[in-house]
Amino acid sequence: MNETASAEQISHDLVLPYLNHAIRMYAEGYASREDIDAAMRFGCGYPVGPLTAVEEMGLEKARDLLAAQFASTGDELHEPASLLEERVAAGATTLAAGDDSAAAPVPEMRHDVRTVGVVGTGTMAAGIVEVFAKGGFDVVFVGRSQEKLDGVVSGITRSLDRAISKGKLTEDAKSEVLARLSGATEREALGEVDLVVEAIAEDLDVKKQLFTDLDRICKQGAILATTTSSLPITTLAEVTSRPEWVIGMHFFNPAPVMKLVEVVTTSSTSAEVDETTRALCKVLGKVAVSCGDRAGFIVNALLFPYLNDAVKMLESGRADMATIDAAIKEQVKFPLGPFELLDVVGNDVSLAIQKELHAEFKHDGFAPAPMLEQVVAEGRLGRKTKRGFHDYS
């Protein structure tokens, strides 16, 4: 196949490995069927989750298309998942071998959470502050300077004013939300919070130092959460004297808008802390999905290899960017084409995540595409630099 690849062929070659990866994730028990599908719907805006998509396509058709792709590429990521082969052999139309349709019990608050701390003043941190304050919680947020703290309040005020202009909020409600905010430049202000969420730079050494501090400062019984999207939570838990109280609470950006939160447990996280965190997400109006502590969690582990494959397809000359982006939007109804999405996420962020996945899973097929490394080396990071795969100048 060359640059004349059809839109259908492009979509099959890029989306089928993503579906295959999701089947393997489900088969190994990393996350439930419901959580895998919900993660991609609410985290990426996909019309259906990957496991539902496979069943709608037809298990046998998906298996046959993957088998043909595997025969062509020899890439083990394209070899039909064992569960898919088994279900096709059984003449099944669904991936579930048993009845996994029973609704999971509604999580309950096993620990009292009234006051929340947030460490950080960037876009994600400010969004999380807004989410908790709008959810009725008093929020203590910590930044490096009064200027940074004022910036958080200004940003939230603008967000609330936009909601008022759209008729979604009243002036009284705005005043109540702002009254719940308390900024501080010293971490010691977090001493009495019931839950603290860190949203600082994705730097493991910096986060480890922070968690050592939080362990010293926060009262016993406080939940210590991280919003990391790629770093090992277990490593953060290990620098504390209370690893059972450490959990991942991965909000998606922008936090006030995106409904998904990946709740990530380590082998040490207590069941009560896990349940409380999931119940808290429900109180905030978020969709919580559960998974274990490994690179990419659910969304990034499924999303970024697909984006990386799109770059490899462009490198191969089989299709140009516009054709690939259009094919994905037309054929599978994803909201953005892969190159549009790469530029929104940031190509440097995408490369870093792909490197983490390659290191964790050690599949040759996960190696970052040379062209992705090239655009990052050239400073073409996406919309934030006005140039990425596309030009926004």
My answer on whether 80 and 187 are in the same domain is: no
Among the listed residues 11, 20, 159, 229, the single catalytic one is 229
Cite the beta strand spans of the chain per DSSP E: 115-119, 138-142, 181-184, 195-198, 223-226, 246-251, 260-265, 287-292
Among the listed residues 12, 111, 250, 358, the single catalytic one is 250
What is the predicted pLDDT for the residue at 105? 87
My answer on whether 81 and 121 are in the same domain is: no
Rounded Cα gap, residues 242 and 222, in angstroms: 10
Q: Is residue 2 part of a domain?
A: no
pTM: 0.94
Enclosing domain of residue 56: 7-99+298-385
CATH number of the CATH domain containing 213? 3.40.50.720
Among the listed residues 300, 308, 347, 350, the single catalytic one is 300
Q: Is residue 337 part of a domain?
A: yes
Active site residue 198: no
Question: How crowded is residue 305: how many other Cβ atoms within 10 Å of its Cβ?
Answer: 24
My answer on whether 82 and 46 are in the same domain is: yes
My answer on whether 206 and 92 are in the same domain is: no
Active site residue 229: yes
What is the predicted pLDDT for the residue at 97? 63
Rounded Cα gap, residues 269 and 272, in angstroms: 8
Active site residue 262: yes
pLDDT tens by residue, the chain, 393 residues? 344 689 999 999 999 999 999 999 999 999 999 999 999 999 999 999 999 999 999 999 999 999 999 999 999 999 999 999 999 999 999 998 665 556 778 999 999 999 999 999 999 999 999 999 999 999 999 999 999 999 999 999 999 999 999 999 999 999 999 999 999 999 999 999 999 999 999 899 999 999 999 999 999 999 999 999 889 999 999 999 999 999 999 999 899 999 999 999 999 999 999 999 999 999 999 999 999 999 999 999 999 999 999 999 999 999 999 999 999 999 999 999 999 999 999 999 999 999 999 999 999 999 999 999 999 999 999 999 999 999 999
My answer on whether 199 and 333 are in the same domain is: no
Q: Is residue 105 part of a domain?
A: no
My answer on whether 129 and 228 are in the same domain is: yes
Rounded Cα gap, residues 62 and 240, in angstroms: 46
**In terms of DSSP bridges, do strands 260-265 and 138-142 run parallel, antiparallel, or are they unpaired?**
unpaired
Q: How many domains does the chain have?
A: 2
- Rg over CA atoms, the chain: 22
My answer on whether 284 and 139 are in the same domain is: yes
CB contact at 8 A, 192 and 115? yes
List of residues 6+ apart from 52 with CB closer than 8 A = 37
Rounded Cα gap, residues 301 and 22, in angstroms: 9
Rounded Cα gap, residues 376 and 351, in angstroms: 8
Rounded Cα gap, residues 212 and 205, in angstroms: 11
My answer on whether 283 and 308 are in the same domain is: no
My answer on whether 351 and 375 are in the same domain is: yes
What is the predicted pLDDT for the residue at 99? 55
pLDDT in tens, 369-381: 999 999 999 999 9
What is the predicted pLDDT for the residue at 277? 98
Rounded Cα gap, residues 303 and 14, in angstroms: 11
What is the predicted pLDDT for the residue at 104? 77
Tell me the β-bridge partners of 288. Answer: 261
Rounded Cα gap, residues 108 and 116, in angstroms: 18
CATH number of the CATH domain containing 55? 1.10.1040.50
Active site residue 8: no
Among the listed residues 79, 130, 198, 262, the single catalytic one is 262
What is the predicted pLDDT for the residue at 325? 97
